[in-house]
């Protein structure tokens, strides 16, 4: 059983305290994304969606949304929450190609990539690249690396760039840490935006 599976089972999910602040920021980022896409919102996938804290925000803003997580209980809870048009699947972000999910215009990652080791990060990025439509975007919220990284996770800008070869890192903006609580609120969380060049 993974640590996350244990935490969901115990009901110890501190990252879910980030819903209000994270949701507001995500809403603004999705609005910008929609403005910059002449064709409007397309297909989006929430990688490591957990219990669907943020996936519904994608659907609310017109994206055809898929949520994917390794922990079946979390996926089941997300499904129960709905809305029904979101397709929630159990799957591994390090093996996206075998999930048969089709291609996506937007990849959302809130707190998943930062918890993977370097090989797993490279595998996630490879899968994202394989499933990316031309001009696709990755929106990633991640803690910075700190001395407590082993316990609370975190990733540097350089590690993200090393994994996402062939992508342009177009921005890295400080995220509002309200609601995260100590020590996560000391990790300088950032919203990263990466763009896959259109063919």
Task: Using CB under 6 A, list all residues that contact ligand SAM.
Answer: 4, 15-16, 48-50, 53-54, 69-71, 74, 92-94, 110-112, 115
- What is the DSSP secondary structure assignment for residue 134, as one 8-state letter? E
CB of 112 to ligand SAM, least distance (A): 4
* Main-chain phi, psi angles of 169, to 5 degrees: -85, 105
Which residue, 86 or 110, is less far from ligand SAM as judged by CB? 110
Q: How far apart are CA 73 and CA 70, in angstroms?
A: 9
Which residue, 71 or 155, is less far from ligand SAM as judged by CB? 71
Which residue, 94 or 188, is less far from ligand SAM as judged by CB? 94
Q: How far apart are CA 162 and CA 164, in angstroms?
A: 6
CB of 71 to ligand SAM, least distance (A): 4
CB of 75 to ligand SAM, least distance (A): 9
Q: How far apart are CA 94 and CA 109, in angstroms?
A: 13
Which residue, 134 or 164, is less far from ligand SAM as judged by CB? 164
Which residue, 40 or 72, is less far from ligand SAM as judged by CB? 72
Is 140 exposed, middle or buried, given 0-12, 13-18 or 19+ CB atoms closer than 10 A? buried
CB of 113 to ligand SAM, least distance (A): 9
CB of 155 to ligand SAM, least distance (A): 12
Pairing between β-strand 190-195 and β-strand 87-90 as defined by DSSP bridges: unpaired
- What is the DSSP secondary structure assignment for residue 153, as one 8-state letter? -
Is 98 exposed, middle or buried, given 0-12, 13-18 or 19+ CB atoms closer than 10 A? exposed
Pairing between β-strand 132-142 and β-strand 190-195 as defined by DSSP bridges: antiparallel
CB of 95 to ligand SAM, least distance (A): 8
Which residue, 94 or 156, is less far from ligand SAM as judged by CB? 94
R_g of the chain, CA atoms, integer Å: 15
């Amino acid at each position: 059983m993974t640590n996350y599976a244990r935490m969901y089972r115990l009901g110890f999910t501190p990252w879910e305290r980030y819903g209000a602040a994270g949701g507001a920021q995500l809403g603004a980022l999705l609005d910008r994304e929609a403005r910059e896409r002449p064709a409007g919102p397309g297909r989006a996938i929430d990688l490591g969606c957990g219990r669907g804290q943020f996936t519904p925000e994608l659907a609310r803003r017109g994206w055809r949304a898929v949520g994917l997580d390794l922990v079946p209980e979390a996926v089941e809870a997300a499904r129960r929450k709905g809305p029904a048009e979101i397709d929630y699947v159990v799957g591994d972000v390090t093996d996206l190609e075998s999930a048969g999910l089709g291609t996506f215009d937007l990849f959302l990652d809130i707190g998943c990539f930062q918890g993977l080791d370097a090989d797993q990060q490279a595998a996630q990025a490879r899968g994202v690249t394989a499933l990316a439509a031309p001009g696709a975007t990755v929106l990633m919220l991640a803690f910075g690396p700190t001395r407590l990284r082993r316990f609370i996770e975190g990733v540097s800008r350089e590690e993200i760039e090393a994994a996402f070869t062939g992508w342009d890192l177009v921005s890295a903006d400080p995220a509002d840490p309200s609601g995260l609580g100590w020590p996560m609120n000391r990790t300088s969380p950032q919203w990263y935006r990466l763009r896959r060049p259109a063919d």
